[in-house]
Structure 1
Amino acid sequence: MQLHDTPAGVLNGRRVLITRSADRARPLASLLSSLGAEPLVLPLIDFERATDQQALDAALDALVAGAFDWLVVSSITTVRVLVEKATERGTTPAALVPAGTRVATIGPSSRQTLEAVGIPVALAPVDIQSAEGLVDLWTAAPESVLLPQADIAAMALREGLAAKGAAVTAVVAYHTVDFPARPELRLAAELPPAVGSSIHSDIRELSPAQTRRELDGGTIDAVVAASPSAARRIAATLLPLGRCRFIAIGRPTAAEAAALGIPVAGTAKVPTPDGIVAALGSVFANEGTIR
């Protein structure tokens, strides 16, 4: 079922740069291709295992022992961590979460990914798919919460849960680094094919030099940034964008881009391929047929 409201043909022939690695870009690339666009990939950020594995393992031991009422998963990358740690322990991701612990996440993509690895989700926002949207769903104190996050995660989720009366145990689950991560530290756990795309062909990946030439030539119509860290990397490595439109996934990414002086042409209201396509469609529909 089509969930986006993109007018027919509006993305046909548009070239869209996705600043993620090919495996993480595949669901969006699949949808763009189905609508006649040409997806391109330029990985700007990558992920490495947490430096303090002892702290992460201790938190997961406590989780398995039933010490937490809630596990809050704020990104798909955290699911990769759970998959990797389960493999290390010779078990399944689902076995890390006892029956008495409920799981919350911030959007449909992470919910789908969690459920694909066997972890049911009890709570996820629908309208405002963000840290703030998740916190708003709790009307009573969520008691004890385990929050595994990136080393650069914003404080909004942790502080919001604490303000609701929760005892929050935050632990660094992974580090966000410039692409490429060091091979020996790269977080590379495979997720089930169900959360990927139906595309079987390779996505075209550009080098930084190729991307610079394409931007200077005006042949890339839009660039998609999935996080504030991606916006910072775009500001550091890709400016000027020329005629290329900047599309942000979520308000935090849009705010970071604006603070860096990058004009934001559109913001995806929901952090899903459909949400991103809807933002792209709105931008190009408003521009008419002028290229």
Structure 2
Amino acid sequence: MGRRSANIRPDGNAGPRVLEGARVLVTRSPDRAGELVSALRGTGAEPLLLPLIDFEHASDQHSLDVAFDALGAGAYSWLVVSSVTTVQVLEAKAAERGAALSAWLPGSLQVAAVGPATRRVLEALDIAVDLAPAGQKSAAGLLDIWPRSRASVLLPQADIADPRLRRGLEARGASVQAVTAYRTVDYPADPRRGLSRPAGPRQQEHDAPVLTPAEAKAGLDAGTLHAVVAASPSAVRRVHSELSPLGECRLVAIGRSTAAEARSLGLPVDAVAEEPTVSGLVAAVIAALDPGQPTPHPVHPQTVKDQT
């Protein structure tokens, strides 16, 4: 396809079929891709799914259980949640104890969320979010606004989580208990250890084709895939190992950490979403396929669920 002539209206918004004919590879699992698939189709694109990562229960359930029980008993002043998958794990832990997560959390607890998707899912579970970055919606953005204090913090994370969030909180005076909430694995997860459905509102159903890495690589080699959306640093590592070189296919990253990981692996990044939302990703795909045009303003409010 090469560079496309995007249909951008004078007000800067994308026309309804601005990606007509573009085949866009989305590296998300089917249960997490519905809103993005629908939004891409609304622009005329043909979305295809390439699930690359999945999630399993943490190997050390004892440590997670001890931390979760301490959370319910009021041992922490802050809970820092960095992904929707973490919310999913915490919701399941509360259910094991016969409670809703909102009822399990003490009223004195303050909750911080990294990313708009995490905040949206917490609020859908009736959990108030006390602190979330308004500018850079990332761990770095949260650290920028974190109050310096001797707060006691529970930080449940993926097994491969970047340690900079924990270190940054500690540098600001917090006493941080980091615990592994889940493992990030190649897709698909072992059915015996995989997590249940994502937390929060269910994703809408869709019928986008699901490709294997071999099928996606064949499409890249044939020049029939025009953009690939990497939704996490771990996904971009799989893109590098399974699909590179990408040829003329444009790589779109969901955020700065994903883009940085891609560049460290030698993958050129054609566009980075200004926000980790459906509209941000669609705008980035348009910018990647037509870099000569101004980036359109986001037009879809849905938020992409965070992945590690």
Question: TM-score by structure 2 length?
Answer: 0.87
User: Does residue 135 of structure 2 align to residue 130 of structure 1?
Assistant: no
SS in 2 for 1:205: coil
Superposed CA deviations along residues 181-222 of structure 1, whole A, max 9, x for unmatched, are 1110001234333x634xx33222112222122111111111
Given candidates 35, 38, 43, the residue that maps to 1:35 is 43
1:148 is aligned with what amino acid? P
Say if 2:79 and 2:111, in contact at 8 Å, map to a contact too: yes
1:241 aligns with 2:249: no
Aligned counterpart, 2:203: 196
- Counterpart contact for 1:7–1:285, Cα < 8 Å: no
Q: Are 1:68 and 2:73 matched, yes or no?
A: no
Q: Does 1:44 align with 2:52?
A: yes
Q: Deviation of residue 140 (structure 1)?
A: 2.9
Q: CA deviation at 1:114?
A: 1.1
| 2:279 alignment counterpart | 274
Task: Return the match for 2:159 from 129, 147, 151.
Answer: 151
Tell me which amino acid in the other structure corresponds to 1:115.
E
Q: Does 1:84 align with 2:70?
A: no
Q: Is the CA contact (8 Å cut-off) linking 1:105 and 1:121 kept in structure 2? A: yes
How far residue 89 of structure 1 moved from its aligned partner, in angstroms, is 1.7
Amino acid at match of 2:144: D
1:206 to 190, 199, 211: 211
**Structure 1 residue 22 displacement after superposition:** 0.7
1:95 matched to 2:103? The reply is yes
- Closer, same or farther in 2 for the Cα pair 1:10/1:287, shift >3 Å? farther
Is the Cα–Cα contact under 8 Å of residues 17 and 223 in structure 1 kept in the other structure?
Answer: yes
Query: In the alignment, what sits opposite 2:270?
Result: 265
SS of the aligned residue for 1:103 comes to strand
For 2:166 and 2:265, how far apart are their aligned partners in 1?
25
1:56-87 deviation per Cα after TM superposition (whole angstroms, max 9, x unaligned):
00000010001111100001110111122122
Total equivalences in the alignment? 281
Counterpart secondary structure, 1:171: strand
Shift of 1:229: 0.9
Q: Which residue of 1 aligns with 2:185?
A: 177
Alpha-carbon contact 1:70-1:142 (below 8 Å) kept? no
Q: Distance in 2 between matches of 1:77 and 1:192?
A: 10
1:111 aligns with 2:119: yes
Q: How far apart in 2 are the matches of 1:117 and 1:203?
A: 29
Gaps of 5+ in 2: 1-11, 294-308
1:226 to 207, 217, 231: 231
Distance 1:26 1:146, change over 3 A: same
Deviation at 1:141, TM superposition (A): 1.9
Contact 2:153 2:175 in 1 (8 A): yes
Stretches of structure 1 that go unaligned for 5 or more consecutive residues are none
The 1:190/1:251 distance shift into structure 2, 3 A limit, reads: closer
Asked whether the equivalents of residues 223 and 246 of structure 1 are also in contact (C-alpha less than 8 Å), the reply is yes
- 1:136 aligns to what SS in structure 2? helix
What's the offset of the Cα at 1:6?
4.9
1:24, CA displacement in angstroms? 1.3
Q: Which amino acid aligns with 2:228?
A: V
1:118 Cα deviation (Å)?
2.2
Paired letter, 1:117: L
How far the C-alpha of 1:38 sits from its partner, in A, is: 1.5
Structure-1-length-normalised TM-score:
0.92
Task: Render the CA deviation track for 1:164-192: whole Å, top value 9, x for unaligned.
Answer: 10000000000111111111000123433
8 Å contact from structure 2 (residues 87, 122) kept in 1? yes
Q: Note if contact 2:227-2:289 (Cα within 8 Å) is conserved in structure 1.
A: no
Instruction: Indicate the residue corresponding to 1:7 in structure 2.
Output: 14
What is the rounded CA distance, in whole Å, between the counterparts of 2:145 and 2:203 in structure 1?
Answer: 28
- The percentage of counterpart residues that share the same residue type is 54
What SS is found at the alignment partner of 2:184? Answer: strand
2:299 aligned residue: none
